[in-house]
Amino acid sequence: MARGLRLGALLALMAGCDRLTPWQGLEVTPPRPVPAFTFTQADGRPISTAPQSGRPLVLFFGYTHCPDVCPTTLADWVRVRRQLGDAGERVRFLFVSVDPARDTPAVAAAYAARFSPAFTGVSGDSATTAAILRAFGATAAQEPATGASGYLVSHSSQLFLVDDQGRLVAMYPFGRGWNALAADLEKLL
């Protein structure tokens, strides 16, 4: 009987091993609640970052004139969605523009949709943009540039993974690899 109890305890521990596996991204310990923000989409409908049961949120701050980090990141999202298969439909991918002067809601939405119709691009007013950046500990600043764009925007380049309870659980520095995000999403889903 004692042997059976030990075996049962071992099996119970092994069943929970998946939850003990470290994140592939940079783990936020303890997971940090983030406030919900609401943006107005191009069609006038609101979209919120509020938690949705069973639907984690992948959030990235960028802008549509970005020459490098932003298009690379959204191309990586395409790989993540492909890796997740049907389960990827439950993930909310949100591109938040840090350049509200140029990126209207329609421009941000069209930019994200160019990579996948499953991706949502949003833009808010300057106050909303500043507030959501602060909430995630991200930054963005305009810098002068030559050329047609007139300026560039230096911005935080990491991805943020928020669980379905509205808690920031992991971050992914630029270059971490799309497969790290895919592996962590598989755990959450």
Query: What pLDDT digit, counting tens, does each position of 29-78 carry?
Result: 999 999 999 999 989 999 999 999 999 999 999 999 999 999 999 999 99
Helix-then-strand count for the chain, H and E? 6, 10
CA dihedral for 179, 184, 186, 189, sign (positive or negative): negative
Q: What is the pLDDT of residue 110?
A: 98
Q: What is the pLDDT of residue 145?
A: 81
Query: 76-122: per-residue pLDDT in tens?
Result: 999 999 999 999 999 999 999 999 999 999 999 999 999 999 999 99
Q: What is the pLDDT of residue 22?
A: 81
**How big is the chain by its Cα radius of gyration, in Å?**
19
pLDDT at 161 over 50: yes
Query: Fold for domain 25-188?
Result: Glutaredoxin (3.40.30)
pTM: 0.86
Q: Domain coordinates of the chain in residue numbers?
A: 25-188
Work out the pLDDT band at 146, boundaries 50, 70, 90. confident
Tokens of 120: 């949502």
Residues 108 and 122 sit within 8 Å (Cβ to Cβ): yes
